[in-house]
Amino acid sequence: MMAQRVTARSTTDLVLRVLREAHEPLTVEQILARVQKLAPVHSANPKNTMRKAISQMFLVQPTEDGRYSYLPYLLAGNTFRHPIERGAMSRRAFLLSPELVTALWPATFEINKRRDASPALLRLQGQEEAEAGRVYREVEGWAMQADDLFWDWLESLGPRTGDDLIFTVIDAEARQYAVSLERAEARREGEIAERDLQIANEAESLLKAAHDAVILSNLGVRLIGLGLYNNPVPPDPLDTILAHDARFVDAGLDMVALRDRWPGYQTLPVDVRQRVGGPPTSE
């Protein structure tokens, strides 16, 4: 069978297919070579064609060494922290930080045809498996709802304000996660402070490179791609870290900027506010 001709619309699909099948990060040259085996790329600059396709996908992210990978593979082994808030227990829903939304549902901020809202399977402290779904609330943003098994398990532990849920990604592609409760008194504050500073410093570097404000979900996924959450000690939520660091400013519309480079009218520090954006627009 003859190879199909690559079109602008199909290029992104082919790049995504190549990276999913690779199961490892690839350079632009490697991506191009594998796409060419599937279909000829006829353009004045094939590498730029690949880069453009990559830039259009949330599910493809750059790694620390300049290669590119499929986001669910980058999430393997990553850990995320979610502070317990008693009000959420009564509502049976947790508002999520942008990086945790991405961890549990990696395609949340993709175009319509690539989104996957299938339940996240939560292994509760190595025992029973609960199901969680995402829901978007117009004012608050993205939240996690879960079945009775999850809430009954959590209530049985007697969670208190100051305790944290720790999410560990087992297999994002298969929607498998581990969840445990970390008591406030068990928090390793020194190590967490170091992790928070590491996140903030890398966020500053990314914002300097962007020369503009950046949507929090985009900042969070870049940090994931760079391996900042591949650590057994998860940092505090991204929006909380930025809220307590004077280098950053709320640029509005769920965006963050560097205080000393932001020309906008808003000068209030980043606050713990509406979580990142609503459902992305379709292609």
For residues 52 and 45, what is the distance between their CA atoms, to the nearest angstrom? 11
Q: Which residue has the higher pLDDT, 43 or 230?
A: 230
Q: How confident is the model at residue 2, as a pLDDT?
A: 44
pLDDT band at 180 (very low <50, low <70, confident <90, very high): very high
Same structural domain, 40 and 142: no
Counted residue by residue, the chain has a size of: 283
272 in a domain, yes or no?
no
Asked whether residue 50 is domain-assigned, the answer is yes
User: What's residue 273's pLDDT?
Assistant: 42
Q: What is the mean pLDDT of the chain?
A: 91
Indicate if the pLDDT at residue 54 is higher than 90: yes
The answer, as to whether pTM is greater than 0.85, is yes
Confidence of residue 175 (pLDDT cuts 50, 70, 90): very high
pLDDT tens string 7-47: 555 899 999 999 999 999 999 999 999 999 999 888 899 99
Residue 124 lies in a domain: yes
Residues 128 and 53 in one domain: no
Answer yes or no: is pLDDT of 5 > 90.
no
194 and 180 together in one domain = no
The pLDDT, as a whole number, for residue 1 is: 41
Instruction: Render pLDDT for 74-93 as a digit per residue (tens, 0 to 9).
Output: 999 999 999 998 788 888 99
What domain range is 222 assigned to? Answer: 189-261
Count the domains in the chain: 3
Looking up residue 178, the CATH number of its domain turns out to be 2.40.330.10
Residue 281 has pLDDT above 80, yes or no: no
Shared domain for 112 and 96, answered yes or no, is yes
pLDDT given for residue 276 in this prediction? 40
If asked whether residues 160 and 216 sit together in one domain, one would say no
Last residue of a domain, one of 153, 186, 219: 186
